[in-house]
Amino acid sequence: MKMNGARILLECLKREGVDTMFGYPGGTVINIYDELFSFREIRHILPRHEQAGVHAADGYARATGKVGVALATSGPGATNTVTGIATAYMDSIPMVIITGQVPTALIGNDAFQEVDIVGITRPCTKHNFLVKNVKDLAPILKKAFYIARTGRPGPVLVDIPKDVQIAQTEFDYPETVEMRSYKPTVEGHPRQVEKAMTMILAARKPVVYVGGGVVLGGASEELTSLARMLSLPVTTTLMGLGAFPESDPLSLGMLGMHGAYCANMAMTESDVIVAVGARFDDRVTGKIATFAPHAKIIHVDVDPTSIRKNVRVDLPIVGDVKDVLGKMIREAEKQTAKGGVERDLSGWLGEIATWKETHPLSYKESKTAIKPQYVIQKLRELSDADAIIATDVGQHQMWTAQFFQFNKPRTLLSSGGLGTMGYGLPAAMGAQAAFPDRQVITVCGDGGVQMNIQEMATLVQNRLPVKIVILNNNFLGMVRQWQELFFDRRYSSTCLELPIDFVKLAEAYGAKGFSTAKPDEVEEIIKQGFAEEGPVIMEFKIAREEKVLPMVPAGASLNEMVLNA
């Protein structure tokens, strides 16, 4: 059957199982929107800004494990997607971004709303395509989805000129993909797994260090089984939270710059570190020269370029984390069944228990000012067991990571690598679109929430009942904290002096709003907000100069934490 390019695009999306897309119309995608008008198989959600549309597709992808899809027009529409694409790229999120382009004959002529989005996004996409012939459209889209979801996932951009959307050809969607230059390694080498297990079983102070790859790879069950089988303590990055239940006694919580004392000390004193789906980011390692000085490192990752990129590695294993962890479980059973393996981790686990007891995550309570940590604890207590939490970026993000306690994968959505303010609200929107019957909460600061506050209109229009928690200190809090600790409290451009009435703002969008500065009203407002059927803003005016602690200062070692200040 002959179809035009716009219809072929939609048919391809349907074949890939896309049920929801986030897009903003414009001149070079008007033909796609004309076809979409009568195409009922895909739900289209109109954000109020293209950046928010990409963040929403990102949140949808993180919450579901499926490929998120966003659509934008050429020129400014396309450039508005870049921050969202870079956010997804840094955190390895599978997405396909469709952009319109001026007709092929006008490319390079500085035509109206022309921009080289392929060139612009080359550094922040896993791959991108410019479609020059309608006959190539279906094969390119097949490749785009394959690249986005396989190996180390990531965003793929497909730029489609207007004349390609109009042109017609026979529609034939490929069943398989064959790309000679792209063949990710999935299966971990059995000999490397055998060596790794020998090292783990011989270790006296082992630690499993887990990144977002375990969540993205759907390997939480295998990770949990292995850790419990061998009594291995587990610490996670921000992106790895939820991969291992934080309620488990073996959990050390999050490590790194604002990680738990016990996690950072365990990494420093460990003799074997098993890194799974993590990339040894600078926020995790601290000072590289003193990182894990006594440890041999086993690094499991599907992306070979991530191994040895930042730290020395004694045993690399390239492969899908689910496959490798499954092989590790079988190898552990095999080696322990042979006998002769003497393991006594009681001393190590006791040392960790002492660290947990002497320096737990804590804060000074107050009867006069709302402590943000208290708000997060109350959210945990009152929310559903399978609630999805999206955060913006800043102090509130770290308080959420420290005090919410995540026990399931894909329940925390947060911009880790790029640290994108404005991410939380639209990401929650995408997750709520994916799971209309689950509780979705976004925790934001008063700075970041205003970067995409226009999406309140999208929530109300689409009846997406996201609960928005704003921890308001009238500061750009994380930068202010650095200014307090390292710049003699010179609060340069970090004080948000104009007070915003967030209750009236919520009402202006047709939503409900609640606000308080009193600690004894926190619980009741959360209950009221959760009881509302639609989207809600809950503002908590918190202690203005509360800090995120512990903190590893820039250039310091992991064990050189600021515990009190």
Catalytic annotation, residues = 50, 112-113, 162, 478
Length of the chain: 565
Instruction: Name every residue whose Cβ is closer than 8 Å to that of residue 357 and which is 6 or more positions away in sequence.
Output: none
Q: For the chain, what is the radius of gyration of the CA atoms?
A: 24
Q: How far is the CA of 400 from the CAs of 289, 470, 504, in angstroms?
A: 30, 12, 26
Closest CA to 9 of 176, 178, 158: 158
Q: Are 541 and 515 in contact (CB under 8 A)?
A: yes
Omega into 550 within 30° of 0, i.e. cis? yes
The two beta strands, 168-170 and 2-4, are antiparallel
The two beta strands, 155-161 and 127-130, are parallel
Is the sign of the CA dihedral 489, 494, 499, 504 positive or negative? negative
Burial 416-446 (b: 16+ CB within 10 A, else e): bbbbbbbbbbbbbbbbbbbeeeebbbbbbbb
Q: Are 211 and 279 in contact (CB under 8 A)?
A: yes
DSSP type of residue 468: E
Give dist(CA 538, CA 252) in Å, integer: 31
Which pair of structure tokens corresponds to residue 560?
């050189």
Neighbours of 103 (CB within 10 A): 16
Distance of CA 440 to the CA centre of its chain: 15
Burial 187-219 (b: 16+ CB within 10 A, else e): ebeeebbebbbebbbebebbbbbbbbbbbbbeb
**Which one-letter amino acid corresponds to residue 356?**
K
Which pair of structure tokens corresponds to residue 78?
């396309």
Closest CA to 20 of 73, 57, 58, 65: 57
Which pair of structure tokens corresponds to residue 108?
């390079």
Helix, strand, coil % over all residues of the chain, rounded to 5? 40, 15, 40
